[in-house]
Amino acid sequence: MTPPAARPPLPPSGPDRFGRLALVAIALAAVASSIAMNDAPATAVENLAIGGLGLTYLALLVGAGGRLARAGAGAKLGYFALQLALAAAILALQARLGSFGTVWILLMPLLVQGMVVGRWPGVTALTALALALPTLHALRLAGPAPAVEVLVGVGAAIVFVLLFSAVTLRERRARAESERLAAQLAGANRRLAELAVEAEELAAARERNRLAREIHDSVGHSLTVANVQIEAAGVHLERDWERAGAALGKAAGAVKQGLTELRRSVGALRGGPLQNRSLAGALDGLRAEAEEEGLEASVRVLGDPRPIPPEMALALFRAAQEGLTNVRKHARAGRAAIGLDYRTAGRVTLKVTDDGAGPRPESDGGFGLLGLRERVGLLGGTLDARPLPAGGFELEIVVPA
């Protein structure tokens, strides 16, 4: 059997009120029975001695015995030695008076306490002493045959007490372990809830940053252009109606473009751009939008398209979207091309090229490029923006897929 030290600890508690009353009743019944069953007349002193020893035993059993779980090894050993000595003294007085009685019942609570606070070697020694004391008492009084009967009867009682105590202790330890695991599970659930809230807040913060970048590079740029053109129109309003009208026309175009970008951002919030569409189909939609705004564009797919994770596909779509937006804003280009390459195993490459010659935000760390680098970097990919030797510009994104 496993020693108690290897088991889950019992919840700290002393005997309850019912248990204390039961111990008192057992002890009083055992002492009273021993006094009443004396075969030889006992003097008042002898009866007083038996009663005093019994009450002392009882006081220690209920008082000190209830605090054994917190006592040291020396205190436990002293307690059990004193209780065994008291029980032996009562039995010795009974033997002197020629009586056996039921005083051996006093030894049963000691066995229960030993099971609760002791280790198996100590419990075994305590059990052997609890069996030996009444057996030797019967042997002294009546001889071998009655001693054997006492040995069998008391031994059966001890076995019952030990088995009952073992089952009870196992149930208490199982309950304590269940309570401990329930507390751990509750703590883990609380921690998971906290992590879920933190993850939601982090996702919201990332989405706010992404929207801030997109609004800065799209709507913010358009409104800035519109403001400049309106100011220019104000300067020429009285002297040159034609130039003022041209400036207002440019301002109107910038506002229109800003509204288009704003609608695109709102659409991205309402639903993913790749819902119910392949990546190639979504890129073709970007091509159509670019041509509506006067930029000739094309989409070319190299290799056999294969399924890729949604976050990878969305990153490639956003890269193409940002690339075409920058071409329209800054490149003074007449043509742009989108290339989607599946030919290399384990990765997908997207390229956005144009034939323009204007300044690019990609070359000075604009917010659009920064947002793309963050998105692609989180997926383990790379981004490269560079001018082409023959003129124009190229934006290349490679993601593992």
| Tens place of pLDDT per residue across the chain (401 aa) | 444 444 444 444 444 454 555 555 555 555 555 544 444 455 667 667 777 777 787 777 777 766 776 777 777 888 888 888 887 887 777 766 666 666 677 777 777 777 777 677 777 888 888 788 777 877 877 788 877 887 888 888 888 878 887 788 788 888 888 899 999 998 888 888 888 878 877 887 777 777 776 666 666 666 676 777 777 777 766 677 777 777 777 777 777 777 777 666 666 555 566 777 899 999 998 898 888 878 899 999 999 999 898 888 988 998 898 888 888 777 778 899 999 999 999 999 999 999 887 555 554 445 567 778 888 888 899 999 888 888 889 999 999 98
Distances (CA, A) of 374 to 258, 371, 397: 24, 5, 12
Residue type at 140 in one-letter notation: R
Q: Which of 386, 299, 294 is nearest to 333 (CA)?
A: 294
Report the length, in residues, of the chain: 401
Cα angle value 266/269/275 (rounded, 5°): 110
Contact 92, 104 (CB under 8 A): no
Report pLDDT for 124.
82
pLDDT score of 92: 76
| The model's pTM | 0.39
Q: What is the dihedral of CA 202, 207, 212, 217, to 10 degrees?
A: 140
Element (H, E) at 185: helix 144-215
Instruction: Give the span between the Cα atoms of 128 and 111, in whole angstroms.
Output: 10
160 contacts 152 by C-beta, under 8 angstroms: no
Within 63-105, residue ranges assigned H as helices are: 73-96
How far apart are alpha carbons 262 and 96 in whole angstroms?
108
Question: What's the pLDDT score for residue 267?
Answer: 60
Q: Kind and range of the H or E element at 352? A: strand 347-354
For residues 362 and 369, the answer to whether their CB atoms sit within 8 Å is yes
